Amino acid sequence: MELALEEVILTRKNWSLSARGIFSEGIHLITGRVGSGKSTLAQAIARLMEPTSGNIAYHGISRHTLSMQFPEYHTTGHLVRDEIRSWGLEPERICMEAGLMGRAHERSFALSRGELKRLHMSCILAGTWDLLILDEPFSTLDPVWKHRMRRKILAHHPPVTLIFTHEQAVLPRVDYLWEIRGGYLHALGPVPEAIPSWQGAPRYIEEVLKYGVVPDNITLEDAEDALCRMHA
Amino acid sequence: MQDARLRIVSTFLLSCAAFSSITGAVLVFMWWTIFARDRRNLPGRRTAVIIFGTLALVAVFTALVGGDGAGYLLRLSVVMLIAFWAFGGGAGEELFDVAVWAFGDRWGFDIGLAADMALGSLGRIEDDIILTRHAIAMKGTTGLVRSLVPLGVSVVMVQIRRAGCQAKTLAVRGYHSGGTYVPRFNHGKEDYVAFLGSILIIFALLGTFVRYL
């Protein structure tokens, strides 16, 4: 199961993004600054927009979905339980997963954006997918839920998972790193080998790299472990 | 038509004329083909399908209950064309100009600000509709009719939330009421000809229009 970007070019007025590469099975982290084209690329990969040129090929992938940054766009059920059922899921279980126990009868849009994001992410992670594209899955979540969501993604991720984010504080362990800069999608490679060439790495990774140590992965815990190993 | 004051009055007159009768709609359509040729501001294909599709649905329903569905569709479609011409290019700042020119720095500023924000939101609706349609399709709901209600609810709720955020932002920045703004207007000869055209249409339809009112 894999996804191939074959000389893909996305353009919009004075902006363009070129992307090529193969997303094999595993968790891929795609980073880039705000406005670099992460969301546009995510939508193109989800086949919601046609690239200006090139081709996006699915190999062995039959079920895919995209989680957009703003959960409001996904919300189509009047009540929380309607929203959960619109995903074909059982309200009780999802409410518990999302920390919304006893709130199934409330109006979906009466939830705060953070609660709505928890609800949406819980629904999407409960589905069965071959390819899951998550655009800023940690945005609008508080730190506690960012950590919980990170664990949920690791526990429930489908074979090919793409995480587009500029999050710097709470990141999941990933298998591959990609970076969008200068209008190109750069394939940095598998982790941990790719970490030293990651220009937009979080501060804690930069600090560890300064000591000449490469952490096993990209989380804060990995960085701490690397420093401990060095001092030991 | 460059002068926003004339355009707003023309929009009001032409919309009334088009809605009042089929003859009015035909006359306004002729006006639109002549005077709106440089500024039609027609929406994208998807938005057009949704807007005119909704009108068509209401027209079919009207016809089924014994009303003049075809007439309704024609009249409302022409009203929409005039609306696109007048506001499709993003006329928020122009409304600000007109409101302050007409009502001054206190009431005019408030009305202009509200109009500016409302049109700003309208400008974002197209993107909201596209993204919400994608989200609905990803849930496996297909077909315009089945997705119309959730689409409408979602888009309206997103707009309400955004309006709430804007209101809070204004309050945090200390906005209470009124403000200072210097309106500016450009106009050419064709503005007056087009404006006169819209007045002539209303006069030509005076009997129908008064009956309609």
In A, minimum Cα distance to B160 occurs at: A109
Q: Who has greater pLDDT, A98 or B151?
A: A98
Mean predicted confidence (pLDDT) in B76-89: 87
Alpha-carbon distance A175 to nearest alpha carbon in chain B (angstroms): 26
Q: Which long-range contacts (CB under 8 A, 24 or more apart) does A108-115 make?
A: A108/A75, A108/A77, A108/A78, A108/A79, A108/A80, A108/A82, A108/A83, A109/A72, A109/A75, A109/B157, A109/B160, A109/B161, A111/A80, A113/A70, A113/A71, A113/A72, A113/A140, A113/B161, A114/A140, A114/A141, A114/A142, A114/A145
Amino acid at position B196, single letter:
L
Enumerate the domain spans of chain B.
4-212
| pLDDT of the residue at B172 | 86
Rounded to the nearest 10 degrees, the angle between the axes of helix B22-35 and helix B69-87 is 30
| pLDDT of the residue at A112 | 94
Question: Could A73 and B153 be called an inter-chain contact, meaning their C-beta atoms sit closer than 8 Å?
Answer: no
Question: Could A72 and B158 be called an inter-chain contact, meaning their C-beta atoms sit closer than 8 Å?
Answer: yes
Q: Who has greater pLDDT, B138 or B18?
A: B18
Q: What pLDDT digit, counting tens, does each position of B5-35 carry?
A: 898 899 999 999 999 999 999 999 999 999 9
The one-character DSSP state at A137 is: T
In B, minimum Cα distance to A88 occurs at: B139
What predicted TM-score, i.e. pTM, was given to this entire model? Answer: 0.74
Q: What pLDDT digit, counting tens, does each position of B34-68 carry?
A: 998 877 888 888 778 888 888 999 999 999 999 89
| pLDDT of the residue at B40 | 83
Rounded to the nearest 10 degrees, the angle between the axes of helix B45-64 and helix B69-87 is 150
* B139 chain-A contacts, CB cut-off 8 A: 74, 76, 86-87
- Map residue A220 onto helix, strand or coil: helix
Question: Could A86 and B128 be called an inter-chain contact, meaning their C-beta atoms sit closer than 8 Å?
Answer: no
Q: Who has greater pLDDT, B90 or B95?
A: B95
Flag whether pLDDT at B89 surpasses 80.
no
pLDDT mean by block of 10 residues, chain A; 232 residues: 96 93 97 94 93 96 94 91 94 96 94 96 95 96 95 94 94 97 96 96 94 94 90 74
